[in-house]
Structures are given as structure tokens and as C-alpha cells.
Amino acid sequence: MYAVKAMPRPRSLTPAQLADAALAVLDRDGLTGLTMRAVGAQLGTSTMALYRYVADRDELESLVVERVLDGVDMRPPADGPWPDGIRELVDRVRAAVGAHPAVVPLLPAHRHRSPGILRWGEAALAVLTRGGFAGTRRVVAFRALLAYVVGAIQMEHLGALAGPGTAVIAALPRAEFPLLAETARAAGAVGPDDEFGGGLDLLLDGLARQLDG
Amino acid sequence: MYAVKAMPRPRSLTPAQLADAALAVLDRDGLTGLTMRAVGAQLGTSTMALYRYVADRDELESLVVERVLDGVDMRPPADGPWPDGIRELVDRVRAAVGAHPAVVPLLPAHRHRSPGILRWGEAALAVLTRGGFAGTRRVVAFRALLAYVVGAIQMEHLGALAGPGTAVIAALPRAEFPLLAETARAAGAVGPDDEFGGGLDLLLDGLARQLDG
DNA sequence: GCTGTAGGTGTACAACGTACTCCTACAACC
DNA sequence: GGTTGTAGGAGTACGTTGTACACCTACAGC
């Protein structure tokens, strides 16, 4: 292996450039616009050149997810009450994802393989552990937190009740969905941050109560 | 309009048959296998005949979602403590979806338009209202509940921590993700029901605490 | 310079959603 | 019971997707 006869042409792209280009396409044209051809055009290369960097479209999506999560500070906040630490961690991913809403549909599918999401999980577990959670309780707490965050972020970017989506529901047949219509109207006074944070607080309160009891 | 000259050939399919066929394809071949051609073949009709019943593939998916939710009892439980009512409602949808796991990725996108999901929301709001929630609090409670349910169901069927997905995480590099690895091992002792229900209980505890305080 | 390697390009194909055109079968009339 | 108008169903065809394959190309090392 040490006596290599010749070295090939060096790569003209970095994975980071590829990820940036794909993210740019995603931000501009949405998830349906994220095609191999579009990313190739964005980079000024052929479509097939991308396959020297990723095995398939799925891997390209992974690259995008990772790129969005790259800017997130994944260090667990070390001081302060543990619920504040969780809130901080949650807010960081929420902000990062909010800057690129089109990645939202990709998150559930890439949840297992994404190093970024795994690092976030590790940080969240560190905070929970510091708060006193261990064993089965920690498993359930962690999963509940993840479920809420995943669900709430999706709700937020697929038409929140507080937001443009409200109008749709407010126009529902009153007779059939009286409570939904009423709730949709009341939701106008609740901002996305209050909605997201309020739900998280409910979960954190439940966790705190479990620690006490 | 009353003197119609001739009546056309009657439809040979019912929407229900179409929904059943699509659901059968979805169950058998997964979401990627749910194509117009496959559903046409399943029904023994041409592909294009489907377009007499649905405008496009998206509408076909709506039909499938509705079919899955059709069997769910959407009447809000009228007696017993309100948290038990919520648990009951949540368990019903979870069971229905669990019988057709491949629909899970469709749920977030169809959340707004699906009459079935709307009816579920109305029922959940009825229970929350009976429990004493109103105004802004009810908005936040409802949204938090929905976020948790949507998120938890997706986590459950896209590889739960307690479940087959555990193995993937348990194989993580220990040095980099010590807590995740440990949690994955501990998760082996937690069944999916305990995991799902435990998280829901945390949220319900938070809600109950809010009502008291 | 020569050369071997891996990078980049172009072509091609199967499968998808669906627009368009034609044929067909039935209910309502004489 | 034949005729007819209507909407349903079938067939064909097109643009777009991911990607397999075969080819050419440019550079590091001799």
C-alpha cells in the first residue's frame, strides 16, 4: 500500500460546500425542490458528480440536517436549575430549525442516524441526570421530552394553531367543531413562543413533580 | 336542469373501496409503494380511473388517513376524571395508527385537513373543558397534548428507544455518547406502552398541577 | 513526459404523477 | 326496444425524478 504509483485528481468540492448548496436549494425551493439536479446546478457541476460525495438522495438529506444542526451549541448548560438547562437546549434547536423550516419534515426520519441529534440527546440526558433522573425514570423523561420537541416543532412549522393555520380552523363549521373554532380564536392571542414554551413548561412541571413525589 | 336527457354510466367504485385498496397497498408495500399505479392494480382498474375519485395523489393519501381514523371512537368519555378521559382518547388513536404504522409519516401533513383528526381534537377539547381548562390555558394545553401525541407516535414507529431502535443506539461509541448508550440499555426494560403512557402522564401531571396552582 | 487513479460528465432507463384523447356502457327518452 | 347523450374507464404520452453505466479528464508521483 505504501508504494502508490499515482494519485488521482483531487476532489473539487468539500462536503461542507455540498451541504451548503443543498441547504440553499432547500431554503429557496422547499423540500420538493431539493433534487439532485437542482443541487448540481447550484454547484455548477453535473448531477452525477454529487454521487462521488453521497451514496444517494437520502444521504444528501442527512448532510442538510447535519448542516442545520452544526451551528447549535450542544454543550449542556452546567449551572442553574435543571429545567432551565432543558429549556435552553430546546430553545437552541428550535431556533436553528426555525431558521430553515423546510428541514422539519426530514427530522423524524433522520432522528436515529444524525450525529447532531444524538449529541443533543446526550446533552439533554446530562441535564436530566444532573437534575436527579436515573434508570427507568430517565428513559421515560428523555423520550417524553424528545417526543414533545419533535411534535411541537412540526406543529409549529406545518401551520400552528397560533399563526396562519389558525385561520383555517377558525373557518370550520361552528356547529360541528364548536370547541376547535373557539380555541382557534383564542389562539390568536397566544404567540408561537408562548405556545411552544408553555407546553414545554407543562412537561417540565410534570417532571419536577415526579422528582418530588 | 330538471329535464336531463341522459344519465351516464354509474361509478363502479365507492370511495370506501378506493380507500381500502390504498390502505391495503400501504400496509403491504409501505409508503413508497403507495403509487397510483399500484392502487389501480389492486382494484383491477386502470391507473387513470382513480382520478375520477381523487384529484391527485395527495387526496388519495387523505382518503387513507381518514380510513385509518374511521374506526376510532371519537366520543369524549363523559365520566371519570378528566385525565383518564384524555388517556382514553389518546390510546384510541394510538391503537388505530399502530394497526397501520405506515400512515404515520402522513399524519403531520394531513393534520389540518383531516376531519378525523379534527373530530379527535374536538373530543380532546371537550374533555379538557370539562376538566376546567379555558381560554389561553386551554389553547396551550391542547397544543401541548397534540404535540406530544404526534411526536410520540412518530418516535414509536420510526424506531423507538424501547424497541428495535434501541440496538442501534446501544451500539453507539461509548466514549462519545455515554449517557445515550446507558439510557438505551435501560430502555430495554421499558415497554412501548409504559414509555408512551409514562410520557403522557408526565404531561397530564403538569396540566393537573397548573389547574391546582 | 508518462501513467495510473479517481473525479467529473453524458447518456440512458425505469418509475413516478398526471394531462389528454378516445372508447364504452348505461339511464332516460322516443 | 332502439337511440342518444353523458360521464366513467382505458390507453397513450410527456415531463421529472433517482441513479446505473460507460466514458473522458486532470492531476500526483515516478
Question: Residue A12 and residue B77: Cα distance in Å, rounded?
Answer: 63
R_g of chain A, CA atoms, integer Å: 21
pLDDT value of position A1: 44
Q: How many CB atoms lie within 10 A of CB A209?
A: 14
B155–A172: do the CB atoms touch at under 8 Å?
no
- Bases of chain D with protein Cβ within 7 A: 4-12, 16-22, 25-30
A199–B154: do the CB atoms touch at under 8 Å?
no
C-alpha cell at position A27: 431554503
A51 residue type, one letter: Y
C-alpha cell at position B204: 397530564
Distance from CA of A156 to the nearest CA of B (A): 9
pLDDT bracket for residue B35 (50, 70, 90): very high
| Closest residue in chain A to residue B210, using alpha carbons only | A202
Q: Tell me the per-residue pLDDT of B39-75, one tens digit each, with 9 for 90 and over.
A: 999 999 999 999 999 999 999 999 999 999 999 999 9
DSSP notation for B176-188:
T-HHHHHHHHHHT
CA of B51 to C1' of C7 (A): 46
pLDDT bracket for residue B160 (50, 70, 90): very low
Alpha carbon separation from A44 to A17, A24, A49, A158 (Å, rounded): 12, 14, 10, 32
Listed residue (B145, B110, B109) closest to B129, CA to CA: B145
List strand residue ranges (DSSP E) for A47-141, in order. Answer: none
Listed residue (B84, B200, B81) closest to A203, CA to CA: B200
Biggest CA pair distance of chain A: 81
B180–A206: do the CB atoms touch at under 8 Å?
no
CA of B10 to C1' of C25 (A): 9
CB neighbour class for A6 (10 Å; exposed up to 12, middle 13-18, buried from 19): exposed
> Which of the nucleotides lies closest to B54 (Cα–C1')?
C18
A59 residue type, one letter: E
Provide ipTM, 2 decimals: 0.93
CA of A52 to C1' of D30 (A): 27
pLDDT value of position A2: 47
pLDDT value of position A4: 58
Listed residue (B135, B119, B76, B117) closest to A182, CA to CA: B135
pLDDT value of position A188: 87
pLDDT value of position B206: 98
* Lowest-confidence pick of A161-175, B21-35, B139-153: A161-175
Distance from CA of A93 to the nearest CA of B (A): 16
Closest in A144, A189, A209 to B199, CB measured: A144
pLDDT value of position A174: 76
Q: Tell me the per-residue pLDDT of B165-188, one tens digit each, with 9 for 90 and over.
A: 555 566 677 789 999 999 988 988
pLDDT value of position A160: 41
> Quick one: average pLDDT of B76-99?
97
> Quick one: average pLDDT of B189-203?
96
DSSP letter, residue B191? -
Query: Beta carbon of B52 within 7 Å of strand C?
Result: no
Question: Residue A182 and residue A160: Cα distance in Å, rounded?
Answer: 15
pLDDT bracket for residue B195 (50, 70, 90): very high
C-alpha cell at position B210: 397548573
User: Do the Cβ atoms of B104 and B158 come closer than 8 Å?
Assistant: yes
Closest in A108, A178, A186 to B135, CB measured: A186
Q: Closest residue by Cα to the C1' atom of nucleotide C2?
A: A6
pLDDT bracket for residue B8 (50, 70, 90): confident
Cβ neighbours of B165 in A, within 8 Å:
112
User: Mean pLDDT per 10-residue run, chain A (213 residues)?
Assistant: 68 97 98 98 98 98 98 95 98 98 95 92 98 97 98 84 54 84 91 96 98 87
The domains found in chain A, sorted by start residue, are 15-69 (1.10.10.60), 74-212 (1.10.357.10)
pLDDT value of position A168: 59
| Whether pLDDT at B162 is above 90 | no
- Provide the H-helix boundaries in chain B: 15-33, 36-43, 57-70, 82-98, 107-110, 115-131, 135-157, 165-170, 178-187, 192-212
C-alpha cell at position A39: 443541487
